[in-house]
Amino acid sequence: MLNLVLFGAPGSGKGTQSEKIIDRYGLHHISTGEVLRKQIKEGTELGKIADSYISKGHLIPDDLMLDILRQELKSLPKDCKGVIFDGFPRTIPQAVELEKVLEEYGTQLTGVVGLEVPEEELVARMLKRGKETGRADDNIETILNRLKVYHDQTEPLKEHYQGKGAYMQIDGLGDVNAIFDSVVKAIEDK
């Protein structure tokens, strides 16, 4: 199986590049942010809890996120060629648990695609999307919190994965297709 983590700050292009990787390799997409936004839209209990964190730009607690991951993995198709984890893991305990869960499925992580984009560009992309789509956490106050949370809690994972030789650093600034070419090259060189 080809199992990839799409890693990067809010607005770095994880969702955009995931779609393109899925088209190329036929993988299954697990975007924890999308799962949570769907629950919010449907007004479920989980959605109400998720909304209280997402609206502030905070992370959902690990134990809840890990239940969601296990639930999502249950619905994998039988002939699954691999999974893209988009926005997961975001903490060291999530990363440790992901390794365990993949082992239970008799598979492992192939690599981590790390999209690196300067902060000014991240803010500009999210503000633009906020205006165009109304995504609720794309307002300046929440964006700045999301970036702080990223630096404090998620960025340390880069070193974690570098230590395992799994991190593929990608320049995430510029043309979407050119970035995708770099992603494909990194995956195929792995």
Tell me which residues are annotated as active site: 14, 90, 129, 135, 146
| SS3 state of residue 166 | coil
Of 24, 48, 129, 185, the one binding ligand AP5 by CB under 6 A:
129
The yes or no reply on residue 153 touching ligand AP5 (CB under 6 A) is: no
- List the single partner that 10 binds among Mg ion, ligand AP5, none, CB under 5 to 8 Å by kind: ligand AP5
114 binds, among Mg ion, ligand AP5, none (CB under 5 to 8 A by kind): none
- What residues between 4 and 33 interact with Mg ion by CB under 5 A? 14-15
Partners of residue 29 on adjacent β-strands? 84
* Min dist. Cβ of residue 79 to ligand AP5 (A): 26
Rounded distance, CA 85 to CA 3, Å?
Answer: 8
User: 2 to each of 28, 114, 115, how far by Cα in Å?
Assistant: 10, 16, 18
Q: Judged by CB, which is closer to ligand AP5: 79, or 132? A: 132
**Does residue 53 belong to the site contacting ligand AP5 (CB under 6 A)?**
yes
Question: Which residue, 15 or 130, is less far from Mg ion as judged by CB?
Answer: 15
Element (H, E) at 15: helix 14-25
Q: How far apart are CA 78 and CA 65, in angstroms?
A: 23
Applying CB under 6 A, among 2, 16, 169, 187 the residue interacting with ligand AP5 is 16
Closest CA to 120 of 142, 144, 149: 144
